[in-house]
Amino acid sequence: MFWDCVESAFTDKAMEHHLVQQQGPPQGWWYVRPVPHGLHQDLGRRCIRRFLAVERSAAQLRGAEVHEEVQRLLQLSSGSLQLRGREVRLVAGDCARHWQSHALAAGATPVLPDEADLVELLINGFRSRGLVLEEAQFLEAREAFLAQCEQPTGSPPPPGRRATTVAGWMARRQQQRSLSASTRSACQRELQRLLQFSAVSLPQAISEGAAWRWRNHVLSSVSLPTARRRLSLIEAVYRDACSSGLLQHNPFSGLPPLQLSPLPPKPLDQERLEELDRSRSADPIYWLVRLLGLRPVEAAALRPIDFARVEEHRVLWIRSWHLREVTHHCPASSVRCLPLPNALLDLWESCSGNSLEPLWSTAELVPTRLARRWGDQLRRRSGISATALRAERRRIWREAGADQVVLKHLLGGSFDQPDPVGARALELMAWMNTPPLALAPRMLHCPTEPTNLSVCAR
């Protein structure tokens, strides 16, 4: 980001150096740049002069595009850049449409030019866009020109010169809608990345195949949220370019949708986790989050009555912390029941009872505030957040064989609908290949047999 801003500022400063106000004709602001002495013969001129606009503000927007075109013209003439084949076909087709529009505007039927006129048309058309057509590329340009002339002519293009460079596209998009400096810089950066990856220099040269390869490259090289953000930027740029007439077809519009899924989470550093286990050996909230994947607010709101028994199994009832009623008064979507691993049996013995008061929070320190303080302290001292601990527990259970439905219940996902008869619990029991328990309507187990709960302590 820093170097992009430095490069943009350097380009604007270089453009301002060539911005000159002259009396004309026409009167206004001009882009005036002397040509290096070694390129006088190749370009056939000693100075490049292009009219920008009457007002300085409009000239600055137009000047960025002209500066990029002139810079590219000088680099192509010096041999440091090479014109690509797709650029040759694109510009030759544009020259043919421009030639047809002039013939239609004059009321004459377009007649194919002879070979000498065609050479002059193509050379001048490429040079007006800051490009140099070499002799080896003339045959490809001629075929593209003639192929465009064979197509039926439609309505004449709108008056004015179409933007062809990255800076021109950004200036046209800025005229269409008001963009912040950061958004404009991000769009320009993504467009330049796309052109560099596709080995082209003009934004119009991107085909559907290039758009497909770019999308696959972004999705495979960065995280899913970053890929979605970057692809949305470049798709918005080409959508606006198509609506403003810079393109006839948006290469990103015809791509089939992809079923995006996030990459599997990486396991946490086991050495750091072991060190954190030793330092937090006496913290009950930490172990509830670490071994059961509870949210900190759920662990902070536990009461002695929540530590109960179901069919000789020590279990933990998880209810919404703000619900103070007895279990059977709570909605099914707000209650779940988890078996305790062996590592938490001592905690169950010390906390179980009939009291309805929270174990660790008070009237002054409600569960939400206690959970926030505990989470902030954990993150500051260890560098590991409660969310990372829950993600690690999810990963362990997923590797143990839990499907999405089981994980949704174990980690606190809400039910689609209340389940008073326990049909969902029976399905879970069938998945675990164990007989249903007597109080199974709200009993949700870890992905293993009830007689072997060691998976919860892994």
Pair 125, 222 in one domain: no
Pair 50, 104 in one domain: no
Contact between residue 93 and residue 145 where contact means Cβ atoms under 8 Å apart: yes
248 within a domain of the structure (yes/no):
no
259 within a domain of the structure (yes/no):
no
Q: Could you tell me the CATH number of the domain that includes residue 341? A: 1.10.443
218: its two tokens = 């972004």
The predicted pLDDT at position 91 comes to 81
The predicted pLDDT at position 190 comes to 92
159 within a domain of the structure (yes/no):
no
The predicted pLDDT at position 106 comes to 65
20 within a domain of the structure (yes/no):
yes
* pLDDT tens string 176-235: 888 888 888 899 899 989 988 888 888 888 888 888 889 988 888 887 888 889 999 999
Domain termination site, one of 78, 99, 115? 78
418 within a domain of the structure (yes/no):
yes
Pair 300, 414 in one domain: yes
Pair 438, 296 in one domain: yes
Pair 66, 89 in one domain: no
Domain termination site, one of 78, 104, 122? 78
The predicted pLDDT at position 317 comes to 86
Pair 198, 178 in one domain: yes
Pair 138, 231 in one domain: no
Pair 63, 91 in one domain: no
pTM above 0.75, yes or no: no
The predicted pLDDT at position 455 comes to 34
Domain termination site, one of 35, 51, 78? 78
User: What sign for the dihedral angle of Cα 411, 414, 416, 418?
Assistant: positive
Pair 329, 353 in one domain: yes
Contact between residue 450 and residue 434 where contact means Cβ atoms under 8 Å apart: yes
The predicted pLDDT at position 128 comes to 67
- What's the total number of domains in the chain? 4
Pair 304, 446 in one domain: yes
249 within a domain of the structure (yes/no):
no
Low-confidence residues in the chain, pLDDT < 70:
1-13, 24, 41-44, 77-83, 105-110, 128-130, 152-162, 259-265, 320-334, 413-458
16 within a domain of the structure (yes/no):
yes
Pair 188, 317 in one domain: no
307 within a domain of the structure (yes/no):
yes
* pLDDT tens string 309-356: 887 788 888 876 554 443 344 444 467 788 888 888 888 889 888 888
The predicted pLDDT at position 3 comes to 38
Pair 182, 230 in one domain: yes
* Full residue range of the structural domain in which residue 327 is found: 270-457
The predicted pLDDT at position 373 comes to 92
